[in-house]
Amino acid sequence: MSKYLFPIYKQVNIEFKKGKGSKLYDKYKNEYIDFTSGIGVNSLGHGNKSLIKAINKQANKLIHISNIYPVEAQKKCAKKLVQLSTYKNMNCFFCNSGAEANEAAIKFVRKYAYLKKIKNHKIITINNSFHGRTLTTLKATAQEDKQKGFGPFTDEFIYAKDIEDIKNKIDKSTVAVMLELIQGEGGINAFDKKKIQILAKELKKKKILLVIDEVQSGVYRTGKFLASNYYEIKPDVITLAKGLAGGLPIGVMMSDVKDIFILGNHGTTFGGNPLCTSVALEVLNILQEQEKSKKLENRILYFQKNLDKCLKENKEFFVSKVGIGLMLGLKLKNEEDLGILIEKCLDEKLLVLRSGKDIVRFLPSLNISKKEIKEGFSKLQKAINKIKG
């Protein structure tokens, strides 16, 4: 850790120098299998040729011009996002991160409440959610341990225990419900499809906005473009970020609710710049092809087959498999083993993540090869064997 940096991250002391596909190399040329893709960011893995080409091509033309001029790539990227979503009449706002996309969504909801004259308006979020680290998105994040010491906060968030509890929390002042369909940081908790569909219907009837945070679950992570497509619902507001530009910083807030954001209501300096949006467009084109050709589906099936096998062979260690698509995890029997398992995986040169208290999380790149998957799971088994002794 550098004395010039704030010590805010719990870091593993490995200096990565290079990556290729789902393999990473440290300064001693040790080879690692990457089941994390930078927390769901490197959707095309490391060193992807098409991605590098797209970056170079745009960088040679124009990197930034400011949103006071029309940005061609932004328009194309927005059109693509709306087409892929399958929802009609959506508008996009581009920014630089997940938290910013959620901030935009919350501002949007507030303006909606103002126009609808909903007094003391409140947004309901769910326990163990994660929506970002800015003061407002941290308050939306229903995990009080993360909030400690940073108040006073933006007010008017109400926490529901789970999906069923939302209806107990709804009253005249409720303007929106904001949730992740699969809680990424809170334990790869995929909510029940039927329950979500019932909730979406109920909210529509009551004219309460449904805001779906797809910062982690979006951009083909579930096998579909959006987790919302997988759940077969139509949210009023959607946010995306992590995997969208293959590693470049980007976020987007989408909605089909009209006449809320008007001239001067919101903005950003960097958001939607030519470089990030043209690269995002390339990522979307590649992933769309991978989905159409069933390559993505085959990879998901292969990864999950290996995960099932791992669960079956280590019944005394894991309780269950969690997640959807390539947003996956294994629930440990003893939560004390999680830190040890991640450490042993590192010894075997496999990168995995944690989620919640007792989930070892896998967010591999969406183009991970069968060979890399196989190698990763063999390393995982070796790590487990070491703990078993």
Ligand X SMILES: *Cc1c(COP(=O)(O)O)cnc(C)c1O
* Tokens (6 digits) for 273: 């710049």
Which residue has the closest beta carbon to ligand X? Answer: 98
Indicate whether 98 belongs to the interface with ligand X (CB under 6 A): yes
CA distances to 94, 129, 130 from 163, rounded to whole Å, are: 29, 12, 15
* Tokens (6 digits) for 114: 């103002």
CB of 388 to ligand X, least distance (A): 32
How many alpha carbons lie under 13 Å from residue 33 in its C-beta half-sphere? 22
Indicate whether 241 belongs to the interface with ligand X (CB under 6 A): yes
Indicate whether 273 belongs to the interface with ligand X (CB under 6 A): no
Indicate whether 213 belongs to the interface with ligand X (CB under 6 A): yes
CB of 130 to ligand X, least distance (A): 5
How many alpha carbons lie under 13 Å from residue 229 in its C-beta half-sphere? 18
**Range in contact with ligand X (rule: CB under 6 A) among 25-33, 177-185, 288-296, 354-362:** 177-185
**Range in contact with ligand X (rule: CB under 6 A) among 17-25, 52-60, 69-77, 127-135:** 127-135
* Tokens (6 digits) for 4: 């010039």
| Cα–Cα distance measured from residue 90 to residue 105, given in angstroms and rounded to the nearest whole number | 13
Ramachandran area for residue 128 (φ above 0: left; ψ -120 to 50: alpha; else beta): left
Using DSSP bridges, classify how beta strands 174-179 and 209-213 pair: parallel, antiparallel or unpaired: parallel
Q: Sketch the per residue contact string, 301 through 320, with ligand X: x for CB under 6 A, - otherwise.
A: --------------------
Indicate whether 187 belongs to the interface with ligand X (CB under 6 A): no
Nearer to ligand X, 57 or 146 (CB): 146
List 132, 235, 247, 325, residue binding ligand X (CB under 6 A) = 132
Indicate whether 215 belongs to the interface with ligand X (CB under 6 A): yes
List 85, 97, 174, 222, residue binding ligand X (CB under 6 A) = 97
Indicate whether 271 belongs to the interface with ligand X (CB under 6 A): no
Indicate whether 184 belongs to the interface with ligand X (CB under 6 A): yes
Indicate whether 103 belongs to the interface with ligand X (CB under 6 A): no
Amino acid letter at 80? K
Decide if 377 contacts 314 (C-beta within 8 A): no
Q: ω before 152 within 30° of 0 (cis)?
A: yes
* Tokens (6 digits) for 340: 């040890």
- Residues of this chain that interact with ligand X (CB under 6 A) are 97-99, 102, 130-132, 180, 184-185, 213, 215-216, 241-242
